[in-house]
Amino acid sequence: MSMIFSWRRRRAGRGRARKDEFPDMELSIPTHFRCPISLDLMKDPVTLSTGITYDRESIEKWIDAGNITCPVTNQVLRSFDQIPNHAIRKMIQDWCVENKSYGIERIPTPRIPITPYDVSEICSRIEAATQHRDAKKCLDLLRKMKNLAKESERNKRCIVQNGAGCSLAACFELFASFSAEEYTDLLKEILSALTWTFPLGEKGKSKLGSAISLRCISLFLKGDHLSSRKHAVLVLKELISEDQDLVNRLMEIEGIVEALFQIVKVPICPTATKASLVVIYHMTISENGEIITLKFVDIGLIPYILEILVDGDKSICEKALGILDIISSWDRGREGVYENALTMPLLVKKILRVSDTATRFVVSILWKLCMGENENAVVEAMKLGAFEKLLVVLQVGCGERTKSKVTELLKLMNLYKDELDCFASSAGFKFVKRPN
């Protein structure tokens, strides 16, 4: 049984006597022009080893999902090679041209996707040009690779999966060691490409994580070119997320803390801000976390973190709260956090409003602020409704550590019973004051 897919031609104008004047005339797509998976007109027909033709995008999704059989015949595929079916594609294009009057556009001739061999060839040529210190050749090959990646997601995946990132990392390190100033254009292009070529593998990570490479990345991070600053922080985020040990090497670079702070203070884009927060977070939880954290506090990070919380999305709020939680672990940090008038209103507002992760961070911050014998913090939190919200946190469930902190907070708040009676009664709970 064949399925009928059709376009209905709309009447071009009233009163015209033409052979196609009937607005409800249907145009059926020939069955063999339709992809057996999507049932749509094929744009890039390819044939599998079973002899069945599919649209490339549909069959790639099928294979990427882990399937090893032909969707139509259910036979196990002897290979995953996809052979372009030029005959069918030409027939489809001719059919589109013939039915142009129905509003059908001719499908463009698809570009042949790159293969692992093509990627290896480009990488080998980049490595050879790097060894000969031929920056122009490297730049030309890099731009060719980027253009191929732009053609399709499949091409980009193929480039990433076949070691391009490692070759680019080696190229970046070598030209950075020659002269970062002389080869600025090439290094900028490499940095841009590296943002989408992770993971790099151990060799690539060691090249890009070297002292030479990190100093060069920091130069772009501290520079005036917005795109280069964005690419630099994105690359740092990927590097430091994979290898926490890089923090110590990064901290040896003068001005790195200020450069990361500037991206938060004067945002380039949400992606760059998130990346900067991730790098800052990893730095603050490192071996020298206290020293690093207080450096960020001293240069004024806290107000900008709180500003992010005002209208930030889920992802950015979680990252900002994570940093605020680390800052609140130290006396000077807690003082800076509590002194800001936005702190308590924002923290209480974010309870159960963003995500479980955000609530966990908020509870931890409140616990650190209130358990330090800060009576003002306790009273202010309760006046803002923290008591009721914390009760709800217990009711809906949370992790054991969070539950323990919530319980301690509620017990502490019970010491201020006279001021909190209205909150407790409205929530339907009655706490007995602990004896002195």
Q: What's the pLDDT at 196?
A: 94
Please check the confidence at residue 5 and state whether its pLDDT lies above 70: no
Q: Is 230 helix (H, G, I), strand (E, B) or coil?
A: helix
Q: What's the pLDDT at 432?
A: 42
Tell me the mean pLDDT in the region 280-292: 91
Q: Which helix (H) or strand (E) segment is 122 a member of?
A: helix 116-131
Q: Is 351 helix (H, G, I), strand (E, B) or coil?
A: coil
Tell me the mean pLDDT in the region 155-177: 94
- Percentage of the chain exceeding pLDDT 70: 89
Answer yes or no: are the C-beta atoms of 414 and 433 closer than 8 Å: yes
Tell me the mean pLDDT in the region 336-347: 94
Answer yes or no: are the C-beta atoms of 388 and 349 closer than 8 Å: no
Q: Which helix (H) or strand (E) segment is 6 a member of?
A: strand 6-8
Alpha-carbon distance of 102 to 136, in angstroms, equals 50
CA distances from 313 to 12, 184, 356 (A): 47, 35, 14
Q: What is the pTM of this model?
A: 0.78
What type of residue is 203?
A: K
Confidence at 419, pLDDT banded by 50, 70, 90: low
170-173: long-range pairs with CB below 8 Å, 24+: 170/127, 170/130, 170/203, 170/204, 170/207, 171/126, 171/127, 171/130, 171/138, 172/207, 172/208, 172/213, 172/216, 173/207, 173/208, 173/210, 173/212, 173/213
Tell me the mean pLDDT in the region 91-111: 89
CB-based burial label for 190 (10 Å; 0-12, 13-18, 19+): buried
Please check the confidence at residue 101 and state whether its pLDDT lies above 90: no
pLDDT greater at residue 266 or residue 8: 266
Q: What's the pLDDT at 436?
A: 38
Q: What's the pLDDT at 397?
A: 86
Residue 407 tokens, joined: 């319980």
Please check the confidence at residue 123 and state whether its pLDDT lies above 50: yes
Please check the confidence at residue 345 and state whether its pLDDT lies above 70: yes
Tell me the mean pLDDT in the region 92-100: 92
β-sheet bridge partners, residue 34: 41
pLDDT single digits (tens) 216-274: 999 999 999 999 999 999 999 999 988 888 888 898 899 999 999 999 999 999 999 99
Please check the confidence at residue 322 and state whether its pLDDT lies above 60: yes
Answer yes or no: are the C-beta atoms of 333 and 325 closer than 8 Å: no
Radius of gyration of the chain (CA): 30
Answer yes or no: are the C-beta atoms of 228 and 269 closer than 8 Å: no
Q: What's the pLDDT at 435?
A: 38
Confidence at 113, pLDDT banded by 50, 70, 90: confident
Tell me the mean pLDDT in the region 144-166: 91
Confidence at 433, pLDDT banded by 50, 70, 90: very low
Alpha-carbon distance of 366 to 130, in angstroms, equals 54
Q: What letter does residue 100 receive in the DSSP assignment?
A: G
Q: What's the pLDDT at 6?
A: 43
**Selection from 375, 382, 391 nearest residue 345 by Cα:** 382
Confidence at 176, pLDDT banded by 50, 70, 90: very high
Alpha-carbon distance of 189 to 102, in angstroms, equals 45
Residues 197/203/206/209 CA torsion (nearest 10 deg): -10
Please check the confidence at residue 195 and state whether its pLDDT lies above 80: yes
Q: What's the pLDDT at 111?
A: 84
Alpha-carbon distance of 363 to 393, in angstroms, equals 9
Q: Quote the mean pLDDT of the chain.
A: 87
